[in-house]
Structure 1
Amino acid sequence: MTTLEIKFDLPDRLAREAKEAGLLTPGALSDMVREAMRRRAAQTLLAGSARASQSGTAALSLAEIQAEVRAVRRERTTTKSHAA
C-alpha cells in the first residue's frame, strides 16, 4: 500500500459538508479515486470503440474482448509488481 499526503483547498461550505458526510476519510477518498479511475477507463474504452467504428474496423467478439481485458489486467499486474 502507498501512503500519500494530499493537500487541496475547498470552499469552507463544501469542506464542512464533505466532512459531515464522511467524504474526507481515507476510505472515502480511496473509494472516490477508485471510482474516478473506473470512469476514466470506461471513457477510454468508449473513445476507442468510437474510433474503431469510424475506421471501419470489425467488431470484436465477446471472447476477443475478454482476451483483451485479461491482457490489460496482466499488464497492470506486471507493471505494479515491477514498480514496487
Structure 2
Amino acid sequence: MTTVQITLPDQLAQEAKQAGLLSEAALAKLLREQLQARRQDTFFTALERMEQTPEPSTMSPEDVADEIRTMRAERRARAAG
C-alpha cells in the first residue's frame, strides 16, 4: 500500500472532507474513475485518428498475383546471390 500526501486549499479540503471525499475508499474510487476516463479518451482519440486515415486502394486479384510473383523473384535472387 502506498501513502500519498497532497496539499489542497483549506476551503477545498474542508468541503471535500464534509462530502466524504477524503476517505481512502472515496479517493480510490475517484482515481479509478479518472483512470478509466483517460483510457476511454485515449481509445476514442485513436479511433478518430483511424477514421481520418484514408483506406488503402483495393487490389485486384491480378495485382495481388503480381505482387506475389515479384516477392518470390526477389527472394530467389537473394537466395542465389
Could you say which TM-score interval applies, normalised by the shorter chain?
Answer: 0.5 to 0.7
**Uncovered stretches (5+) of structure 2, i.e. residues with no partner:** 56-81
2:60 counterpart residue number: none
For the pair shown, the structure with the greater C-alpha radius of gyration is 2
User: Aligned ranges for residues 5-84 of structure 1 at < 5 Å?
Assistant: 5-57=3-55
Q: Sequence identity of aligned pairs in percent?
A: 36
CA RMSD, Structure 1 to Structure 2 (Å): 1.5
Q: How many Å separate the matches in 2 of 1:19 and 1:38?
A: 24
- Alpha-carbon distance in structure 2 between the residues aligned to 1:53 and 1:6: 40
TM-score by length of 1: 0.62
Structure 1 Cα separation of the partners of residues 54 and 39 of structure 2: 23
Unmatched tracts of structure 1, length 5 or more: 58-84
* Counterpart Cα distance in 1 of 2:54 and 2:26: 42
Query: Which structure 1 residue ranges, 4+ long, deviate > 4 Å from structure 2?
Result: none
Q: Give 1:4 deviation, angstroms.
A: 1.1
Count of matched residue positions in the alignment of Structure 1 and Structure 2: 56
1:56 deviates by 2.6
If the length of structure 2 is used for normalisation, what is the TM-score? 0.65
